[in-house]
Every structure is written in C-alpha cells, then in structure tokens.
Chains A and B, each alone.
Chain A
Amino acid sequence: MSLLEVRKINKSFGSNKVLTDVSISFEAGEIHSIVGENGAGKSTLMKIIGGIHSCDSGEILVDGHPVQIHSPIDAFKHGIGIVHQELSIAGNMTVAQNVFVNREPTNKWGFINWTELYEKTNAEFEKIGVKIDPKVPAGSLSVGMQQIVEIVKILSQNVKILIMDEPTSALSDKEVDHLFQLLKKLKAKGTLIIFISHKLKEITYLSDRVSVLRDGRFIGTLDRENMQIPKIINMMVGRNIDQLYPEKGKKGDQKEVFRLEHGSGKGKFTDVSFRLYAGEITGMFGLVGSGRTELAYSIFGADRLDQGTMYLNGEKYEAKSPIKAIEMGIGYLSEDRKNLGLFLDMSVKDNTVVTILQKLCNKLSFLNDQQAADQTKGYIGELQIHPEDCLLSKVKNLSGGNQQKVLLAKWLVSQPKLLIVDEPTRGVDVGAKSMIHFMLRKLADQGMAILMISSELPEIIGLSDKVIVMHEGRCKGVLENVDLTEEEIMTCAFREEEDVI
C-alpha cells in the first residue's frame, strides 16, 4: 500500500486545463522526483496535495484512505508539509522563533518560555544532525541554512510526507550537498520526499524514482535503472533534444573587448585580472559568495571598483553608472529576474525596450511606440517567446522560461558589444534553457563578447570557450575549455594560494 497516492486528478484555472487525469503513487522512504517543463503542472499538483488549491475531480489517498485536503492545515493533519521555492523565513526573528512560529511553548500566563523554546529547537536540529545556534536571527544565516531552518520547521510538525519545490535553485554546491545528505537521512527514517527540480543531474543523483509530467498529463515513472538524462528529457519534451549544448566557437582573431587589471572591490573580490574577447563566451564559475556578482556590478557601473583598471576596446574605461555602461555597449543580465531584472506588472514590450528608451525618442523626447512594438516583436519571434501574441501581456503572466527570454531580449535590443549574463538559465526548463544557450552562442559568433557567470558546472563546460574560476573573491585561474572536466574546475577553485601562477 502506498503512503500517498493521487488518482485521476483534474484541475482547470478558468478555461485553462492544467492537470488531466494525473495518477501517481508514492512510497514511504523514497525520494520521488517530479519533473516537467514549466507549465507542465508540477507545482499545481503539489499545491493540490498541500491543500493550497483544491482539485476539480480526483482522489488523494494517504495510507490507502481517501482524504479531503482543503487547506495547508488539513495537509499537516495528514502529515504533509511543503517547503516552497520562496522561503517564508522571518529574518529578524531567531531561528527558534521561526521553527516554532505560533507554537511557542508558553507558561500559564501566556508568556513564551524561552529556555524550553531553545531546548526544543536544539532537539529538533539534533534529530537531523545539524548544529545551529537557535538564538541567532534567521536572516543572518546563509540561504542554505535558512532553508534547513524551514525544513526543520516543517519536520517538527510530525511530517511524514515532505514536498520540496525547487529547493536548490538558490543554493551553492556545498549547501546542495548538505541538503542532499539531510534528505537521505530523512528517507532512511521512512519519510517520503517529493522533490521538484529543473536540474536533471541532481534528480538522477538523488531520486529513487522520477515521474514525468507533460502538458498536465502523467507521462510515466522511471526507477533508478532507467533513469538516464536523455530519456527523462525525451519524456519531458516529447521529442529528442539531440544536442544539449551548441558547438564551440571557432578560434577568431582574438580581438580584446574588455580587460580588467588587478580589480578589487568592497572586500568581496581581490586582485582579479582577466580579458574578454570578441566572439568568445567566457564562463565565470564560482559558488555563491565567490564575489562574481559584485564583480559584474563593478564592470556594469552599479558598484565602484576600489582598485584596479578596466579597459574597453583598448581604452581606459571607468564604470560610473549603468546608464554610462549601457551607452558604452555593455549589458548585464541580472541573476534574480523577478527582483532585479523584470518589471513584472508591465508589458513584454515595456520590459524589452527599457534599455533603449533614449534611442526610441525624437528630439522632443516623444517615444516612438511603433518602433518599440516592432523591435519587441522581432525578439518575440527570434527567441520564440510564448505566447506569440504576448506583446502587451504583463510579464508576470508568462512562464519562468519565457520571462527569462524577455530578460534576454531586453539586453539584446540594446545591442551590446559586451554582454554579462549572470546565471542566465536559473529556474528555466530544458527547452528554454537550450534555446538560451544556442542564442548566446549565436551572439558570440556574431562578434559579441560574452561573460557568463554560472554556478552550474555542466553549463559552464557545455558552453564556455574559456573558464575563469573564482573562489572566495579571488581568481584562481583561467582555463581553456578543451575537454575540461568538472573535477579540473573544482580542483582549480580549491587549490591553495601558492599553487597559483
């Protein structure tokens, strides 16, 4: 008998059918991943199990008994807890308060019993073998630790079914490792873990079984023996993606576009030097906290270099502001598209042309709306942004992958000579990811210099011509990408200071 089973689940939002006759069964003590492209219905299914949405028809069975789940509270009653993609940590409150929010142990006057609260918190963390000070504000922890706090908060409510919605998208590799150890421990204790992720490598590494959804339908479940990435992708997209990454660029004439010499900034990065060439994609690999985003900010003028010199097309360049940088032909696609990249309540058109408002103006600073629309339509076509008639749609109504394409379009429209892309495919489905990769390569072939910051090693290796390895604010090496392996990059990142040069 399965611990959790969904039978013939159907769900529509208005006229939009998101789930059709989905039936899956989940066993105790397994890590069961759900994969599918954006819009395949994964999140909706999880929200139905977690009581956030109710289904139009179908059954949910826990331990073989049909149950009614109409709210997250109902879900908890049946031992189901969700860790959402966006963490719900109150940063100013202590770890203990976060874990026991609304359930703090109190004395008879209703005051919080702090000693007991801290003890209980410690006990909960001990269960999973993590050491943490329950008295520190949760906001002072790393994102990875915050997530563990969130998991403990869920687990402390006697949860036997733990749903994790894209838990690793904001974590560094080390934190991901940590998380996986934890999940395996929980699994050994008999917890069912339902895991949602776009990172297929993680999934094949971690899962006991994988279920694939496509267009709201259940396609199939694979067990460990049959869990090969090409096979999963095939099931997800319904066709073969024969080539995951585009061909590497041809060795050009090595025309230097940008050079940084001995750049240091804000204590986040120290003495970093590198060159970027036209027609090349230079990967910058580094974990979260390696100083890579701060470095990008400094090149783009959103931050200042404390020391060091930059050269653009051979001439000395001072990054005064993003306005200036854009004028000089630099673009920066930010890593956090929702908070730093897009205007979610504005249209695809408005989002796309934001970088070229000046060019769209006549002398009286009247905007040429027709031109804005034409330019945007061009990119909607070229990047295959869906739906095709999204010109005036609010960006928040697009799927994650299409939002990311709009973000890319916003920079392409400004026709930069140097494009810095920071985690260009984070939280994006396989199809859109591949599309973005091919687009970046095409741009490089057209002569653009591209600096691609990423913490995904397969992406770095698959796409870059050269790899700059950053670690703890230092450039540990620049590697030519000729059959480079993940091990070589990691070794480079962690090698000792003396070995460099």
Chain B
Amino acid sequence: MKDQKKLITVNGRVITLTLIIIVIFIAMSIIKGELFYARSNIQAIFSNLSYDLLLACGMTFVLILGGIDLSVGSILAFVGVIVTLLLQKGMAVPLAILIGLSSSIVLGAINGGLVAKFNIAPFIATLGTMSILRGICYVLTSGYFIANLPVAYTKIARGSMAGIPNKILISLTIMAVLAVLSTRIRGFKQMYYVGGNAQAAFLSGIPVVKTTLLGYVISGLMAGIAAILMTSTLGMGQAGFGLSFETKAIAAAVIGGANMHGGEGSFLGTALGVILVALVNNVFIMFNGSPNWSVGISGIILLLAAAVDIIRVKSQTRSEARK
C-alpha cells in the first residue's frame, strides 16, 4: 500500500507539472493567439532550453548528493572563453573542444574536492569558485567579445536534424542517458546513499569522497558542454555568459522533485521543471514584461518551489507522525 503511495507522489509531480505546462500553453494560445504559438516564439522558448537542461541535469546529481553547485554559470562562461580564445588563436576545433571539456571536468573535481576532502560547505565552496572563475573570465577577455570563430565550430550547434536543432538533440540525449543510468550504474546509485545519509554510507562501505567527486565532476562537465553549445550557437565567447544560470538550474531541479537535503531527485521532473521555467519567462515577456525580469523570475520560481516542498514535507510528516 505504501509503495503505491510513493508511486503516486512521484507520478503526481510529473503529472502536475505536465498539466501546468499544458494549461499555460492553452491559455497563452487563447489569450495571445498567433503571437504565442508563432514558430519564432516557440523557437525562442526552446533556444535556451538546451543549456538549462544540461545544467539542471548536473545540478540534480549534486542535489541528490545533498550538495549544491553555484559555480555552473561561471564554469560555462570560463569554458566558453577558453575554447573561443583557443579557436581564435587557430587551434583545431576538436582539440579546443577537448581542452574545454577537460577543464570543466577539472573544475568540477576542484569543487568536489573542496567539499569532500576539505569538508567545506558546498554552498561556500562553490560560491568561491563561482566568483574566482567569473573573475578570471573578465581578466582574460578584458570585457570584450571573442568572435570570428571558424564555421566548423559554429555549425555544431546551429545545424539541425529532421528540423530539430542539434543543440536540443545533444542535450536531450545526454539528459536521457544520464537519467536512465542514474539508478542503474553503481557510481550514480551511490550518490543517493551519500545524499541520504553520508555517515551511514561511510559505515556501509560506500566510497563517499569518490562519489561526491563524481557528482561535482558531472555538474562541471554539463556546464562545459553547455558552454560549447552556447558559444557555437552565438558564434562568440564572453565573460558574462551564464550569469545566474545556477538559479534557473536549482529552481528547475527543485520543482522537478530534487530534495534540498539530498537523497532524492527525478530527472524527468527536472526536465519538466526546465520547460516550466522557460515557459513562465516567455509568458512574462509576452505580457510586455521586459526580458530583464528573467533572472528575477527564476528566483521567484525557486522560492515558490522550495515553499511548496516544505509544505509537502510538513503534511507528510504529520500523516506519518504516528510512528
């Protein structure tokens, strides 16, 4: 009986999110008509989705671990700047991408090391790396764009297959693979244990440090991939890329059911969370709100999601209080 209940809550969230998304779609189509469902607008909604999907997916792992990664936006900017600088200097495209992705892995490992080895609170550790990396980006670029990238690079994300942009395909594929593997591969599964109860995990023979490292490395790598897709799409690198993307990623993951205290998270939920955040942003812009509001909206959504979560947990504990 309890199993059923659990299934329903997991499905419940997915169903609720899907319904909300559908309702917004229908409502907007009625109110704004063509303006909303025009191809250009739908494309606008989906244009940023690929980056957000990747970051939110990495964030879901970190949240499952009971951590948080505030540095994803900065890693995105940093990797973007490095790769575009190397390309500008004439480096071969595959090599530049390889260096970019490797550096994102290293940065993720640094975050993970600070948290797991030095026991720095994840919030503080990644707040630190977030500022440092953003700072380095400004120094490297002196605030200028890095443009004039080779076509071989820009066509990676700009191309499309069967009418679907490459970048959407790439990020959806990565997300789907990770989601499927998340409970089936040992290294991933161990994250749920570490996030659920780190002490018990240690005493059960789970390699807590390695597992934590893996989570932050994935988060870093996702930001690295997003950086490639973004710079390739826009044809340039810039120190300001990815600003406050971490808020969107955290908001999406929490809406999707990731537990802020670790041990729980759903990748399907996170994906729906990403779509919802993008949609709400678009709705706001439709009603003549300025795009400048977008950062603020992610914050509001994040707080709302957290509040809903706390209410849910409270009502759950009340019904379980008989124990």
Give me the interface of A with B, judged by CB distance under 8 Å.
Answer: 13-14, 16, 18, 43-44, 47, 52-53, 300, 302, 321-323, 325-327, 332, 334, 339-346, 350, 354-355, 357-358, 360-361, 365-367, 369, 389-394, 396-397, 399, 410
Contacts and interface: CB of A to CB of B under 8 A. Distances in A.
A409 to B, nearest CB: 12
Q: Which of A47, A302, A357, A361 has the most CB of B within 10 A?
A: A357
Given A354-B204, A366-B186, A369-B184, 7 more contacts: A44-B322, A342-B200, A345-B263, A354-B201, A354-B206, A365-B186, A397-B2
B190 interface: yes
Contacts of B183: 367
Nearest to A341: B200
Interface string B159-191: 000000000000000000000000111110110
B202 to A, nearest CB: 6
Nearest to B207: A323
B246 interface: no
A16 B2 CA distance: 12
B2 A358 contact: no
Query: For the complex, would chain A's binding face be called helix, strand, loop or mixed by DSSP majority?
Result: mixed
Contacts of A343: 192-193, 196-197, 200-201, 263
B203 interface: yes
Nearest to B4: A392
A80 to B, nearest CB: 18
Interface residues of B, number: 31
Nearest to A414: B205
A346 B203 contact: no
Interface of B: 2-3, 6, 183-187, 189-190, 192-193, 196-197, 199-207, 259, 263-264, 319-323
Query: For the complex, would chain B's binding face be called helix, strand, loop or mixed by DSSP majority?
Result: helix
Nearest to B264: A345
Nearest to A332: B203
A367 B197 contact: no
Contacts of A345: 196, 259, 263-264
6 contacts: A334-B200, A339-B199, A340-B199, A343-B200, A367-B184, A367-B186
B319 A14 contact: yes
Contacts of B2: 390, 393-394, 397
Contacts of B197: 339, 342-344
A334 B186 contact: no
Contacts of A53: 321-322
Contacts of A326: 205
A419 to B, nearest CB: 14
Nearest to A392: B3
B322 to A, nearest CB: 5
Contacts of A399: 323
Contacts of B203: 300, 302, 322, 332, 334, 340-341
A16 B322 contact: yes
B109 to A, nearest CB: 19
B263 A340 contact: no
Contacts of B193: 343, 346, 350, 354
